[in-house]
Amino acid sequence: MKERTVIEKIKSLKKEKDFLILAHNYQRLEIQEAADMVGDSFELCKTAHSSQQSNIAICGVSFMAETAAVLNPEKNIFSPEKNAHCTMAEMLKEEDVLQIKEKHPSAAVMCYINSTLELKSVSDVVCTSSNAVKLAKRLGKKEIIFVPDKNLGNYVAGILKDFDIITASAFCYVHHEIYPEDIKKTRNDCPQALVLCHPECQEQVTSICDFVGSTSAMLNYVSESSEREFIVCTEEGHLDRLRTLHPDKKFIAPLFPRLCYGMKKNTLESLIETLENPGNPLSIPAQLAEKARRPILRMMELSA
Ligand code: 13P
Ligand code: SF4
């Protein structure tokens, strides 16, 4: 079947079967086109929570579908691709957090949404890259253990200088492996371009960029900017999204374009298969869901 025909078929199936399709900003363009909404992790979370449909397909990585399933036990959540995982989410185990907690018994634990439900369940609040700083300020504790992403933790610490932010050891290979030298070389070819990066990049990168923010925050920044050229330091799917929304502007990848293999596992074929034969929705063990729901709900409350 031609790509256009598949997209049209997905659009008619989703109405027929009462499905909402949510896609992360890194998804392939054809999936973005078939989706009802495309956004960053927090926007996906909010949209899943407020949606009317009883069935939701989440095109992203597993922590996104798991978070939606925990937050919306009355809805059926589906992942088109069961093996689409975020490698960072798997890097830190709950025992690691419990060990850090032993050394800092009065600290609050803030857990980036890119994590397992087990990690969330031993945390006080979940956050995303778009609300981490805001939530840290609203948490009521200045000593915060930030897990699992050390780079996002360092970014929050760099802004909240009077806080004591204790970071863990995990990182995202997509962002961690963007280096200042790559940006400097890219800048040589387009010296007028502004440099945007995701806070999952290392401090040596965030500190030389013009703007640091979540995928959707970058999008808003570009929409509001009168500048026309941007070096975008994040996964390359986001550059496709920016190019689609702003065909009049130029988006340049850093020297070595970055790819998230987990995100790219979703295809139109896996999406149409989910709509045609949904099978069983994602099922989370009740005890784990109950423990992980508390810090996720806290994020929703504190970010309101
Ligand atoms: P955003 O919430 O900024 O979209 O980030 C998700 C992610 O996985 C970045 O690598
Ligand atoms: Fe995880 Fe990095 Fe992929 Fe985002 S880009 S889903 S943090 S591996």
Q: Whole-model pTM above 0.95? A: yes
Residue 13 C-alpha to ligand 1 middle, in angstroms?
28
> What pLDDT shows up at residue 288?
98
Most informative mutation of 32, 37, 38, 40 for ligand 1 (most atoms within 8 A of CB)? 40
Q: How far apart are CA 109 and CA 210, in angstroms?
A: 30
> What pLDDT shows up at residue 11?
97
User: Which residue's alpha carbon is nearest to atom 8 within ligand 2?
Assistant: 86
- The pLDDT of 168-186, averaged and rounded, is 97
> What pLDDT shows up at residue 1?
77
- The pLDDT of 165-169, averaged and rounded, is 97
Q: Specify the ligand 1 atom closest to the Cα of 172.
A: 10
> What pLDDT shows up at residue 255?
87
Q: How far apart are CA 139 and CA 144, in angstroms?
A: 9
267-269-274-277 Cα dihedral, nearest 10 degrees: -170
> What pLDDT shows up at residue 258?
95
**Alpha carbon separation from 284 to 110, 215, 274 (Å, rounded):** 22, 28, 19
Token couple for 255: 């020297």
Residue 299 C-alpha to ligand 2 middle, in angstroms?
20
Q: Specify the ligand 1 atom closest to the Cα of 39.
A: 4
Give residue ranges with CB within 6 A of ligand 2: 61, 86-88, 114, 172, 174, 200, 235, 260, 262-263
Residue 39 C-alpha to ligand 1 middle, in angstroms?
9
Give percent of the chain with pLDDT exceeding 70: 100
Note the pLDDT tens digit of each residue in 193-203: 999 999 999 99
Residue 248 C-alpha to ligand 2 middle, in angstroms?
28
Q: Specify the ligand 2 atom closest to the Cα of 258.
A: 5
Q: Is the CB of 131 under 6 A from ligand 1?
A: no
Element (H, E) at 251: strand 250-252
User: Which residue's alpha carbon is nearest to atom 3 within ligand 2?
Assistant: 260
Token couple for 219: 């999008």
Q: Is the CB of 123 under 6 A from ligand 1?
A: no
Q: Specify the ligand 2 atom closest to the Cα of 235.
A: 5
Q: Is the CB of 84 under 6 A from ligand 1?
A: no
> What pLDDT shows up at residue 246?
98
Note the pLDDT tens digit of each residue in 201-232: 999 999 999 999 999 999 999 999 999 999 99
Report the chain's mean pLDDT, rounded to a whole number: 97
Determine which of 136-140, 254-258, 284-288 has the lowest per-residue pLDDT on average.
Answer: 254-258
Beta bridge partners of 14: none
